[in-house]
């Protein structure tokens, strides 16, 4: 039997280039279901809900909604907030007061945890409500899904940036010999691994890739750099901001961390800088680093159209499933065909998603721990969408010497 009432949709955690495509997917699908009356946006996620700050999404213009899938970052505002017991109590009161019967929350495992608890507590309070999590994370570290919306676009950015910054190094390696590309990724190396998608020919950059799934071994790193530099064409290295040493400590953390976020995540940074100095000191080789930071997760012109489409798909599926009576689940992506690539949506337990992390598996990391495997490339290639724009490769046929 149809459950009549209002729906609320929120965005949580780090923004992505396509999280608004999921929002658009939810709105578009919700408008098709008569049992969903008002469609509310939680402004800055649960933070806004606690303050009863919601926006009426039926009041938005069609023109704005049409632009939404290609508009990066979180249009509703986002947050990083772990709710206390009191918060949850307040939240349930807000949801009841606004007759919310459908809860959609776009985020990673912390958001899945929040959504699971909201569902459990509303049930305990006798308030019938369907809660569905919508996957989103550039980190691509959610379990029970082939990949996460947001990843394809950050992967595309890093493939483009590594290819182009790699060409930069190829041109000027006699001056700036090593280039470090520092990517995001707190505990998982999926984003760093994606720089491998920059390659078109065997010796293309990046020449070395270091993921946090492996202990960072400074001696091995320096030996790797030296070997690559000795090939006489510069060396492009992608590293994850979350690299750790043998003791499990991050290589670098900010000198003055202004606390941590309320989930206890430390803000990381400075790996690129650290390695540039290390290379200078130990090898006497000039290096520089690029750290695109939040630009990598939000640059609109690097959106993967596959990612945009899938982000919309999981949003729409969330509404569809909720209207079918499903609750306490996260929408997943299941790869039903590898060639041609095709994904469909599925369902996973929110609780299972909340309590798991998916690092880059062994079979995607080279035995030496300084590269990814072709299996990874096969996995990730379809996610970045269209092939990278074609570039000229000059033959540079050498003119015979006269002197």
Q: Which of residues 8-67 bind a second copy (CB under 8 A)?
A: 11, 14-15, 17, 20, 38, 40-41, 43-44, 47, 52-57, 59-61, 64-67
User: Which C-beta is closer to a second copy: that of 257 or that of 336?
Assistant: 257
* 357: its two tokens: 């992390």
Catalytic residue among 139, 141, 307, 371: 139
Q: How many CB atoms lie within 10 A of CB 31?
A: 14
- In the residue annotation, 139 being an active-site residue is answered as yes
Distance from C-alpha of 1 to C-alpha of 98, rounded to nearest angstrom: 21
Q: Which of residues 113-142 bind a second copy (CB under 8 A)?
A: none
CB of 347 to a second copy, least distance (A): 27
Give backbone dihedrals phi and psi of 238, rounded to 5 degrees, phi first.
-105, 135
Q: Which of residues 227-286 bind a second copy (CB under 8 A)?
A: 252, 254-259, 261, 263-264, 266-270, 272-274, 276-278, 280-281, 284-286
SS3 track for 228-242: HHCCCCCEEEEEECC
Binding-site size for a second copy (CB under 8 A) equals 107
Is residue 7 near a second copy by the rule CB under 8 A?
no
| Residue of 165, 209, 331, 365 interacting with a second copy (CB under 8 A) | 165
| Residue of 22, 26, 29, 80 interacting with a second copy (CB under 8 A) | 80
Phi-psi region of 256 (alpha: psi -120 to 50; beta: other; left: phi over 0): beta
* 193: its two tokens: 């691994």
Q: Which of residues 360-389 bind a second copy (CB under 8 A)?
A: 389
* 169: its two tokens: 């190094």
How long a stretch of residues is the chain?
403
Give backbone dihedrals phi and psi of 88, rounded to 5 degrees, phi first.
-60, -40
User: Which C-beta is closer to a second copy: that of 161 or that of 225?
Assistant: 161
User: Which C-beta is closer to a second copy: that of 105 or that of 289?
Assistant: 289
Q: Which of residues 284-323 bind a second copy (CB under 8 A)?
A: 284-286, 288-295, 297-302
Residue 377's nearest CA partner among 112, 139, 197, 114 is 197
User: Which residues belong to the active site?
Assistant: 139
């Amino acid at each position: 039997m149809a459950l009549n009432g209002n729906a609320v949709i929120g965005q949580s955690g780090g923004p992505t280039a396509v999280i608004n495509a999921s929002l658009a997917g939810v709105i578009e699908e919700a408008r098709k279901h008569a049992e969903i009356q008002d469609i509310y946006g939680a402004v800055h996620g649960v933070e806004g809900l606690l303050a009863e700050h919601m926006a009426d999404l039926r009041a938005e213009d069609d023109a704005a909604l049409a632009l939404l899938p290609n508009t990066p970052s979180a249009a509703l505002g986002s947050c990083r907030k772990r709710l206390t017991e009191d918060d949850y109590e307040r939240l349930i009161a807000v949801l009841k007061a606004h007759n919310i019967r459908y809860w959609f929350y776009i985020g990673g495992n912390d958001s899945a945890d929040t959504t699971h608890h909201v569902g459990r507590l509303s049930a305990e309070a006798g308030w019938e409500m369907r809660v569905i999590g919508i996957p989103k994370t550039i980190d691509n570290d959610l379990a029970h899904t082939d990949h996460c919306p947001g990843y394809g676009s950050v992967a595309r950015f890093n493939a483009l940036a590594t290819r182009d910054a790699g060409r930069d190094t190829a041109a000027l390696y006699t001056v700036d010999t090593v280039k470090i590309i520092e990517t995001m990724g707190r505990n998982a190396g999926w984003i760093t691994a994606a720089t491998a998608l920059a390659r078109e020919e065997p010796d293309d950059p990046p020449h070395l890739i270091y993921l946090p799934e492996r202990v960072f071994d400074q001696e091995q790193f320096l030996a790797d750099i030296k070997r690559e530099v000795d090939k006489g064409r510069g060396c492009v290295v992608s590293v994850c901001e979350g690299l750790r040493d043998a003791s499990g400590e991050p290589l670098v953390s900010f000198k003055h961390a202004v606390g941590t976020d309320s989930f206890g995540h430390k803000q990381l940074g400075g790996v690129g800088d650290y390695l540039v100095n290390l290379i200078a000191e130990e090898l006497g080789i000039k290096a520089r680093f690029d750290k695109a930071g939040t630009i990598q997760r939000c640059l609109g012109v690097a959106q993967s159209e596959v990612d945009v489409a899938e982000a919309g798909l999981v949003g729409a599926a969330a509404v569809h499933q909720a209207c079918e009576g499903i609750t306490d689940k996260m929408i997943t992506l299941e790869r039903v065909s590898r060639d041609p690539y095709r994904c469909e949506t599925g369902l996973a337990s929110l609780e299972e998603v909340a309590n798991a992390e998916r690092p880059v598996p062994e079979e995607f990391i080279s035995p030496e721990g300084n590269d990814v495997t072709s299996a990874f490339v096969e996995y990730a290639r379809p996610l970045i969408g269209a092939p990278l724009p074609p570039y000229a490769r000059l033959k540079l046929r050498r003119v015979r010497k006269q002197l």
